[in-house]
Amino acid sequence: MAFWTYILRCADGSYYTGHTDDIERRIAQHHDGTYFGYTHDLRPVELVWLDEYQTRIEALENERRIKNWSRAKKEALIARDWEKLSYFAIPPRERASASLGRIPRLRSGRTVGGELVLESHPDCPPSPPPFLAYMLRCNDNSYYVGHTDDLERDLAQHREGTRDEYTAKRLPVELAWSAPFADRDSAFAAERRLKGWSRAKREALIAGDAGLALQLATRAPVSRLDGKVDATAGVPVPRESQPVIVLVRPQLGENIGKAARAMLNFGLTEIRLVAPRDGWPNPSAGPAAAGANVVLQHAQVFETLAEAVADCAHVYATTVRKRGVTKPVVTPEQAAVAIHQGPGRSAIVFGPERSGLESEDVALARAIITVPINPEFASLNLAQAVILCAYEWSKHVGLAQPTAEELLPPAPQAELEGMIAQLNAMLEPRGYYFPNSRADATRLTLRSLLTKPGWNHLELRTFRGVLSALRRRPDQIGPDEG
């Protein structure tokens, strides 16, 4: 079965991007206005580009990627201008020095007399959309390492400070290095290795050390979960200590995707769906999962909850209501401890978004998981409930703690003494150390205060700059400083 990502040009010159498993039917719906949405009031529309994929997840991912592209980049894609497309894939400041590597295989389509005509382009060799590892040089001359499937988008976010990460407090940033990889896990593995490299080794790579580039590219991929990897499937192999997440009669594809995202955040990969209302796969789940495709691709669907948990020795039902069923009640933390300690598979069961688990569902469980919650507002959405349980389970498996920022080493004592001396020189003429009988004690207290933070070199320079500015009289401030 084929799945398609496509672009339409609307009557007002704007573009619509979508995906489908029946391209002829979908384009006909756009043409005659029976497909309600963006294109309905912007007809006539024209099919200007499409691409074929083997799975719905791939088509969804490509739709999401293209929707974030600029108009110029979309038009380069439509025109099959591979050189320009590669050019637009890099932000302006780096276009002269960086390269994204190969361009993906693309097709176009057009309508002639109401008939859909597909055009393939064998001159463009098959290649998946590139995943990249990259390094940014920050304004304090430190480096940030990351990976992405859309470098243009991520760099824009870093530059605008909209990513609440290491770079947000170190603007401006510039792209120092990037390299394409065959898949996301390979790019992530390169990111991890780069984060463990010394500054000198990173700068040698930036300078073009071919040996280091080869070392980075030829090492085996590392799963983002740090678990055992199934070489045939490319996904982490489920471990006995991992609980299965079971969603009973989930209503919205978006909520399934968000639950998958919450699971993967904390190392869980196995999801089972019981009678999903809108069927499975659901086209809305992929975008909401925000990259947690490894969870969605291996989702299993069951008709009943009993079938979904048949291989599980321990079943926990999540609910905040009393259902008239007598069961042990535990917190997510207590359940996580029991899951890690007990033999056999465990399942954590979540109910439909609107009503939660029914009494019959709860009756299948060995225990109930609940949390203290505001009785006046006791409703959690599905992803919130999943993340509470997933987080408590993850606390016992030693997942890597993300570093909020790469801390610079403490400054040498001599630099700290210089700052203290500068401050003392400013305070003494102002009579701060008065009376003289308390001067030594006051100096000691101030020194203790200033030595507590563990200042690094940059912080000391910044603070001494503040002191220097305060020392100047208003008439000493230059025209550009006032």
Same domain assignment for residues 55 and 147 = no
314 bridge partner residues: 346
Same domain assignment for residues 273 and 149 = no
Beta strands in 113-219 (DSSP E): 115-120, 131-137, 143-148, 174-181
CATH number at residue 312: 3.40.1280.10
Same domain assignment for residues 301 and 386 = yes
Same domain assignment for residues 148 and 257 = no
Same domain assignment for residues 310 and 352 = yes
Q: Which residue, among 171, 179, 68, 82, has the nearest Cα to 121 in the 3D structure?
A: 82
Reading the chain (482 residues) residue by residue, the pLDDT tens digits are: 788 889 999 988 899 998 988 888 888 888 888 887 788 888 899 988 888 877 888 788 788 888 888 888 888 888 877 666 655 555 444 443 333 333 333 344 444 444 444 444 444 434 444 688 899 999 888 889 888 888 888 888 888 888 756 788 888 999 998 888 767 777 887 887 888 788 888 888 888 765 666 556 544 443 444 333 333 333 343 456 689 999 999 999 999 999 999 998 888 989 999 999 988 888 889 889 888 888 898 899 999 999 999 989 899 999 876 556 678 899 999 999 898 887 788 999 999 988 888 888 998 999 999 988 887 887 788 999 999 999 999 887 755 555 445 556 777 888 888 888 888 888 888 888 888 888 888 888 888 888 877 777 777 777 887 887 777 666 655 544 44
What is the predicted pLDDT for the residue at 186?
76
Same domain assignment for residues 335 and 453 = no
Domain tally, the chain: 4
Residue 63 to residues 18, 186, 340, Cα–Cα distance (Å): 6, 22, 39
Half-sphere exposure of 312 (CA within 13 A, CB side): 25
Same domain assignment for residues 167 and 211 = yes
Flag whether 88 is in a domain: yes
Flag whether 212 is in a domain: yes
132 bridge partner residues: 148, 180
Distance separating alpha carbons of residues 365 and 311, to the nearest angstrom: 13
Same domain assignment for residues 102 and 146 = no
Q: For the chain, first and last CA: distance in Å?
A: 68
**281 preceded by a cis bond (ω within 30 of 0):** yes
Same domain assignment for residues 239 and 387 = yes
Same domain assignment for residues 144 and 283 = no
What H or E segment, with its residue span, contains residue 247?
strand 244-248
CATH number at residue 182: 3.40.1440.10
Residue-number span of the structural domain to which 75 is assigned:
3-120
What is the predicted pLDDT for the residue at 97?
37
Same domain assignment for residues 142 and 244 = no
Flag whether 481 is in a domain: no
Flag whether 226 is in a domain: no
Distance separating alpha carbons of residues 171 and 137, to the nearest angstrom: 10
What is the predicted pLDDT for the residue at 471?
75
Flag whether 325 is in a domain: yes
Flag whether 55 is in a domain: yes
Same domain assignment for residues 213 and 276 = no
Flag whether 284 is in a domain: yes
Question: Which among 364, 394, 424 is the end of a domain?
Answer: 394
CATH number at residue 40: 3.40.1440
Flag whether 294 is in a domain: yes
